[in-house]
Structure 1
Amino acid sequence: MDREETAANAFEGGQTMVMGRVAGRSLKEERLTLELCGVQIQKADKTDVFGKVVLYISQKDAPRWEEELAVGKKARFLGRAQAIKGALNPGEFDFKNYYRSKGITVKIYGEKWFGSEGEAYPYPALIERVREHCRRVLKQCCGPEDQAVFEAMLLGDTKEMEKEQRKLYQNSGIAHLLAVSGQHLAIIGGGIYLILRRLGFGFAGAGAAGAGLVISYGLLTGGSGSAMRAVIMILCLWLAMGAGRTYDTLSALGLAAVVLLLREPYLIFQSGFQLSFGAVWAIAGPGKWLEEQLELTAGWQKGAAVSLCVQIVLTPVMLWHYFQYPLYGMALNVLILPFVPLLMYSGLLAIGTGSVNVFLGKAAAGAGHYILMYYDWLCRRAEGLPGYCLVLGKPSWGQIAVYGGVMAGALWCLARGRQKNVFRGGKQLPGKRYAFLALAVLLAVFFWSLSLLGPQPAGGIQALCLDVGQGDGILLRTGCHSILIDGGSSSEKKLGEMTLEPCLKRFGITTLDMAIVSHGDNDHISGLMCLLEEKRVRIGTLALPIGGRGQEIYEKLEGLQKGAGGKTIYVKTGDILRAGGLELTCIFSGEGKNMTDRNAHSLVICADFEGFHMLFTGDMGIEEEKRLLKRAGEEGGELQKTHLAHAAILKVAHHGSGGSSCDSFLKALPQVKTAVISYGAGNSYGHPAAEVVKRLKTRGIRVMETGGKGCILIESP
């Protein structure tokens, strides 16, 4: 894998010839995604072999893809190779780790297909036909929303789910319904196994048939880590039954982990793998131990104990990957889980009967429709409750260790209390009453312990210059305060959803003290607009440039902020904004010239925190730089002169454009030792200009760039 990662970089840029065998495929939004194995990539005189790559090609460029690009066929393409990069900013999804878990280090953007050769593998083709048949039947028998949930539950395919529906399930803590689990396999494979046993088949015959079905179903649903874990474990159960041996859940779980990790070691870093294995371990380990120690007999007691143990184990995992905890998730699961088998039977019957008659399929799907309506109603009601979804951020290893120690201590104390007998008023507390009291105490300790995993204040000050592509976005954190300066990109279309919101959640930020807009160009506000439009994060104060007052874009921003319940101010030269010990002083706002040019009225802000001094320049040009310097040299220009003199870090104007950062301006910044340039890799503007970088380095200034290299973190203790 490491060799492939190194080799992948050599093929970036320019066209490459790619040849490999199709190992998997999927179609989404008219784009065909292929997984190729045994791949040879050639570029000029360089040739190398990769175990597996992912290739994207437009469906119109592969008109006969169903037959000619079937699994097992060898295909040849012309395309552009790119090494798969990791997360560029805190909180972003890590595509590198995701694809590493599938053995992939390279992605190819296909431009031309040269045909294929060889024979398709019949078994994968059969699996694919069954999957497509099931999808077609569900589409005929269900409404779009029901179809999306059934496809996720039964086929392991979530691509048809609306973003809002998926988010509702995730925030409510019931997203596990959308993952294929042991319950699915128990119902499908186990059901067939029991039917065959009742028909007189022996352990071997029924087990072989059930095993074949279970393995096929696991592959049909995508072969995810959680699905294949369940496949291996249920096969272990049947083998134990056939051999007359005792089945041990933890041993089967360990075997499943070994088998999967030997094949793909990086699976261990995936959230699905951790949650799936963590849940089973919690049930068979701490959950079973607690049942025994408290001598629980009632079904509700056992269920409550196991559910609590699952929550205790999985909470740090959920926060590590998703940064939030559904406060009412346990209660909602108690209300929805009894209906999950019915929902699955409804979907399976819809597929089975709908294959014969659409009317019968619709009737079968009807029960599932009302169950899903009930789920939706429950989640909508929970949404309105206080603390519905706690954004706690990503906990540190130290926090997780303290949390784990507290919860382990609580479990041990409750178990010891039962062993030593608990007395009240000289009488032994009955077992049932003690069990109820113990579970109530454990629940209280668990909810209290969430505070141990909560967001930690920033020590000193942190400036995160985010890699937003062709744009600007800087997050300042000090103590419990957070300020966003700009937040837009002309190259990243989903910046707010994919970068800004995850970054803020990663630090447990649900409310920004302030968002400062240097000027209203799209590459400085697109992500911020998303946060405001979709109310993803609350902004206390929105600060806009005084030079743009009355312009349409600023009025739109002001209207969105008002609709979100926040305050808007217009900033002019001399204004000082404060957040804790941080002072943000506007030393220039472009006054005195034509304000219709947005770059010309960019706010120039100096951030001061104890010994930390950083200058933010928006997209000001050379003309504005000279006017600022002129102002600093005039009577009454002490504000500008002082802040220019003590600034130690410079956010370079206009993404390093040649129309900014002139010699006279840089000369007026004698203390600047570090300059940050934010731009998109391979942009068409030529940013940063070579002459600007040269001017900075000539003055002994260290130049730090985003440009696909990732977020730049500057800290001051």
Structure 2
Amino acid sequence: MEDRLVGRRLAGESSLRHAALRAFAAGLVGALLSRVVPFPVPVGLAVAALALAVARPSRGWSLYLALAGAALAWTAVRAPMPARPEVFAEPSFRGVVMEEPPAGRPGRMVVALDRPEGGRVMVWLRDTLVRPRYGDELVVHAPARAFDHPRNPGLPDRNEQLARQGYVGRSNVSGRQLELTGRNRGSKPVRAVVLPARARLKEQVARLLPGDPGAILLALLAGDRRDVTRPTLTTMSDSGLLHVLAVSGLHVGIIAGLVWLLLALVGVRGWWRFALGTLAIVAYVVFVGARPPAVRAGIIAVTAALAWTGQRRFETTAALGLAGLAQLLVNPNAFFELGTRLSFAAVAAIFAVMNLVFARRQARRLPAFRAFSFPGKVAAALAASVAAFAATAPFLLHAFGRVQLLAIPMSPVAILLTTLIVPLGGLATLLSSMWLPLGMPFAETVRLLIGGLLRLAELTAGCEPTMLRYGGSGLWPAAAALVLFLLLHGRGRRARVAAAAVVLAGITVSVWAAALRPAAERAWFLDPKTGDAMVFEDAAGRVLVVDAGIDGPGVLRDFLLRRGVRRVSVAVITHPDRDHYGGLLDITGKVRIERLVIPTAHGPPDYRRLLERLVAEGTRLVFAGTGTGLEFGGFRFRFVWPDEPARRLYAAELLGANDVSLVALAERGGYRMLLTGDLDRPELIAGRDIRAHLLKSSHHGSRKGNAPEVIEEVGPELVVVMGRYPTPAGLEERLPAPDIGHINTRRDGGVSLDWSGPQGDLRPVVRDYRGRVLTVGP
């Protein structure tokens, strides 16, 4: 019986046990192809029809091509439609509430537009005068705005991510701007059962565990992370343990296992246990919102229960294939979301490793389900963790630019803590709903376990030497080679030798690729959303920052960390306005600043506290003004403003901060860039040899700082505006002129200047945030 359940290939067993996985792979290829090359729907249908016509001559193999064609067409049909311009032109919009705002405080709700093309709008409530409910029909008396998240080189485009999820825009309103026109729209089961149950669970958790522990428990039980504080989410993300807060296979497996065990304890067995267990799994998946990872885990759990009840072998590849096919049928565009890709990649890797472990045990004539020894359990857990890490690391590196290697040994510990927290937390909430003191002992135990989980995340996130960063060590090819090694391990001596050779080659190539990467000097003009932010990199990889944008969006922080920068050689803050120095507040404690160049130490309290903190961390302050020079690799900076009298007048509060803004002429190989900060009085620098190829528009395109005579005196080939669109000076109408290019990073996204291109030492290659070469200037 045991052989039938787990293991040995039985006589007469069908060779089609991987058919579901192959079908899923074919459908996934079709879905991905629809995103790479936007074929019309008829093309996909024609491919599917042609493949079906030749199914008999091809002995059925063309059916996979038919699946790919059908998936291509279905993905195109289900793709969210882009927002029409009239959506943003209207003063109001009508829709149905699909996600309620948080209770008792301002927050976000989601409204599905009542239009034929559909689409959803994120509506941010500024007050709690009105709390719309799921299914309410509303008229929002405020315009919908297009998303304007920053777009920068090397960073994910949040605007595109939201568009793929079906969002068309955002709106910021007060309760007085909402008009209720109807009720009871949306799904009746969700309205009548799911949402009241979630609200009841949230109420009980808040009574038992107020604060962050309660928010963590709610995320573990219901997948609701809205109340988890941003610092906690950042810590969990940096530690590589954020996956335990996303309801997926771990959580569904815990619930399914508990239900299966409870039904057995009360004497329910056989197909009745399967039916009731399946009902419980489906109910939990719906309760947590039926997100793709939870749906995938639910299908695999039901498949496993079916195999157990029918006394059949549980085929992991078939279960994964069925889960993938179901997701393709429900929403193929979900595979373009990071969470879905991570979920399927991790499970596929874990299944592959566990299959190899069981195959080795069978080769030694050991039953696959015989209890492992303790060292064996630890080794199996680490093998699964390594496999999941190797499979998901490329996606994480692409999305976030860094992964924590220490997450490999720490993930099994976090999973063990989660396995204890979920049932104890559920029991505590259940008992407290009867009588509060009954649940308190379990709640205190859960509090200690959650504290241990958070402490584990803090220790893991704080271990910088084990943080793998994109473009830093270049070890991700070795991780991919490790996956190949795990897949080939145990399949013969030659296969093992070949896999070892691939691993060695992967490590060698990755190390030498990083070491032999050609030296290049670059500059980036970022889109910080508000303010200015520029980054310069010399051939040695050192970094100089000019302004940091405003704090909050974290653009400079994410850009530096994505590139593996842990040390900034020089940071220049042109003047003490928060949209220029605020970004340093985001990187303090994460990135070391060796020298800080400023025009003055006077300024608002936050500015002075920032200077004190940086000095305490070892940063050296340097005061710059007219005549100050700075050499940085191949870049030379010459400051032409402010002079000493202007700085004294500012200290006496007789001048504004913009009037003492550092103005620098940066030069690299004859290519000159005038960086003007927020100087609004261009007459202060007139006649100081300020001609340049590139002009950074003063004060985000202000009228005074960008008068026609200023541009005429500088004579730029390219004008770059940051922090505002449209500009008060109307630069988008005045430029581009016949001999002047124009880039507004709010409209066009961040750009890079690269001096390693084919244009020689003088002119850099200008690229947009996607890496495409731009033609600007003469």
- Which residue in the other structure is 1:330 paired with? 408
Q: 1:360 to 1:26 in 2, by over 3 A?
A: same
- Which residue in the other structure is 1:654 paired with? 699
Residue 586 of structure 2 corresponds to residue 544 of structure 1: no
Which runs of structure 2 are paired with 1:284-295 in the superposition (5 Å)? 284-289=351-356, 292=359
User: Deviation at 1:563?
Assistant: 2.2
Native 8 Å contact 1:677 1:688 kept in 2: no
Q: 1:675 aligns with which of 716, 719, 728?
A: 719
Native 8 Å contact 1:476 1:484 kept in 2: yes
Pairs aligned (count): 656
- Which residue in the other structure is 1:487 paired with? 548
Q: What's the TM-score once normalised by structure 1's chain length?
A: 0.81
Q: 1:703 aligns with which of 731, 742, 745?
A: 742
Question: Which amino acid in the other structure matches residue 660 of structure 2?
Answer: H
Q: 1:410 to 1:189 in 2, by over 3 A?
A: closer
Which runs of structure 2 are paired with 1:252-263 in the superposition (5 Å)? 252-263=319-330
Native 8 Å contact 1:517 1:524 kept in 2: yes
Q: What's the TM-score once normalised by structure 2's chain length?
A: 0.75
Q: 1:629 aligns with which of 686, 707, 723?
A: 686
**Whole-Å Cα distance in 1 between the matches of residues 83 and 456 of structure 2?**
51
Question: Which amino acid in the other structure matches residue 629 of structure 1?
Answer: A
Which shifted more, 349-358 or 296-305? 296-305
Q: 1:529 aligns with which of 576, 579, 585?
A: 585
Between structures 1 and 2, the one with greater strand share: 1
User: Deviation at 1:561?
Assistant: 1.5
Q: Deviations over 1:533-552 (max 9, x none)?
A: xx23221211101xx35556
Which runs of structure 2 are paired with 1:608-627 in the superposition (5 Å)? 608-622=667-681, 625-627=682-684
User: Deviation at 1:220?
Assistant: 1.8
Q: What secondary structure does 1:151 align onto?
A: helix
Q: Deviations over 1:537-591 (max 9, x none)?
A: 221211101xx35556664443122122211101122322233222222233344
Q: 1:454 to 1:208 in 2, by over 3 A?
A: farther
Native 8 Å contact 1:9 1:82 kept in 2: no
Residue 74 of structure 2 corresponds to residue 17 of structure 1: no
- Which residue in the other structure is 1:127 paired with? 194
Question: Which amino acid in the other structure matches residue 506 of structure 1?
Answer: R
Q: What secondary structure does 1:27 align onto?
A: coil
User: Deviation at 1:246?
Assistant: 2.9
Q: 1:511 to 1:291 in 2, by over 3 A?
A: farther
Question: Which amino acid in the other structure matches residue 611 of structure 2?
Answer: E
Native 8 Å contact 2:390 2:483 kept in 1: no
**Whole-Å Cα distance in 2 between the matches of residues 536 and 269 of structure 1?**
30
**Whole-Å Cα distance in 2 between the matches of residues 155 and 522 of structure 1?**
39
Native 8 Å contact 1:591 1:601 kept in 2: no
User: Deviation at 1:656?
Assistant: 1.7
**Whole-Å Cα distance in 2 between the matches of residues 452 and 279 of structure 1?**
29
**Whole-Å Cα distance in 2 between the matches of residues 666 and 97 of structure 1?**
35
User: Deviation at 1:150?
Assistant: 0.9
Structure 1 segments unaligned to the other structure (5+ residues): 42-47, 423-437, 633-640
- Which residue in the other structure is 1:605 paired with? 664
Q: 1:172 to 1:577 in 2, by over 3 A?
A: same
Native 8 Å contact 2:524 2:536 kept in 1: yes
- Which residue in the other structure is 2:575 paired with? 519
Native 8 Å contact 1:21 1:75 kept in 2: yes
Which runs of structure 2 are paired with 1:106-121 in the superposition (5 Å)? 106-109=169-172, 111-118=177-184, 121=187
Q: 1:463 aligns with which of 505, 518, 523?
A: 523
Q: 1:34 to 1:139 in 2, by over 3 A?
A: closer
Native 8 Å contact 2:402 2:467 kept in 1: yes
**Whole-Å Cα distance in 2 between the matches of residues 420 and 31 of structure 1?**
59
Q: What percentage of residue pairs aligned between the two structures are identical?
A: 22
- Which residue in the other structure is 1:689 paired with? 729
Which shifted more, 549-558 or 253-262? 549-558
Q: 2:222 aligns with which of 135, 155, 160?
A: 155
Q: 1:455 to 1:85 in 2, by over 3 A?
A: farther
Q: 1:79 aligns with which of 134, 142, 149?
A: 142
Q: What secondary structure does 1:105 align onto?
A: strand
Q: Deviations over 1:206-225 (max 9, x none)?
A: 22322222122112223222
Q: Deviations over 1:155-214 (max 9, x none)?
A: 111222233333333333322221212232233233323433554545443223222221
- Which residue in the other structure is 1:50 paired with? 118
Native 8 Å contact 2:523 2:753 kept in 1: yes
Native 8 Å contact 1:87 1:93 kept in 2: no
User: Deviation at 1:133?
Assistant: 1.2
Question: Which amino acid in the other structure matches residue 332 of structure 1?
Answer: M
**Whole-Å Cα distance in 2 between the matches of residues 420 and 238 of structure 1?**
35
Q: 1:58 to 1:213 in 2, by over 3 A?
A: farther
Residue 312 of structure 2 corresponds to residue 249 of structure 1: no
User: Deviation at 1:601?
Assistant: 1.9
- Which residue in the other structure is 2:342 paired with? 275
Q: 2:439 aligns with which of 349, 356, 361?
A: 361
Q: What secondary structure does 1:713 align onto?
A: strand
